Amino acid sequence: MKNINDSHKTSSLNDCRLITLNKHHHENGNLTVVESNKELPFDIKRIYYIYDVPGGAERGGHSHIECASFLIAVSGSFNVEITDGVDKQVFTLNRSNMGLYIAPGIWRTLNNFSSGSVALSIASHDYNPEDYIYDYNQFLELTASKRNND
């Protein structure tokens, strides 16, 4: 069994970034393509999407030990707040061809979903409940001890 302290990545907000995707413009509509290791800095393993979010609801509220993510507002808009345990940044995602790359070891919260919005999440790993840190205090402890030891 892996030790969380050893495997939890310590990323900084500098490891996260907005990525503008291609847009194949056509008078009959636009098309955007996302492929492993081209637009994104990881192999795509899994895709899921969040929709029908009630007004005022919040999603996320966790970090991942190993999994990297890429979030896109394919429809509508929502905010993503990310923190590495020291710095915090809020991004508003509202374009179908722009997404936020979130490195492993970063705490994220999604909120302010517009009505009818769809949050597409592209992930580097299979779903694994053991890859999640849901306790913010544990996250702060893990990132602080890593920062002090690295």
Q: Do residues 80 and 91 make contact, with C-beta atoms less than 8 angstroms apart?
A: yes
Q: Do residues 142 and 96 make contact, with C-beta atoms less than 8 angstroms apart?
A: no
104 binds ligand TYD (CB under 6 A): no
Instruction: Please pick, among 24, 25, 62, 64, the residue that the annotation labels catalytic.
Output: 62
Number of residues that bind ligand TYD (CB under 6 A): 7
Burial class (CB in 10 A: 0-12, 13-18, 19+), 86: exposed
Site for ligand TYD in 29-68 (CB under 6 A): 46, 48, 50, 59-60, 62
127 binds ligand TYD (CB under 6 A): yes
Q: Is 62 a catalytic residue?
A: yes
Least distance to ligand TYD, CB of residue 114, Å: 17
Distance (Å, whole) CA 80 – CA 8: 21
Alpha helices, DSSP H only, in 24-131?
Answer: none
> Residue 145 CB: number of other CB atoms within 10 A?
13
Least distance to ligand TYD, CB of residue 111, Å: 11
Q: Residues with catalytic annotation?
A: 62
Chain residues that interact with ligand TYD, rule: CB under 6 A:
46, 48, 50, 59-60, 62, 127
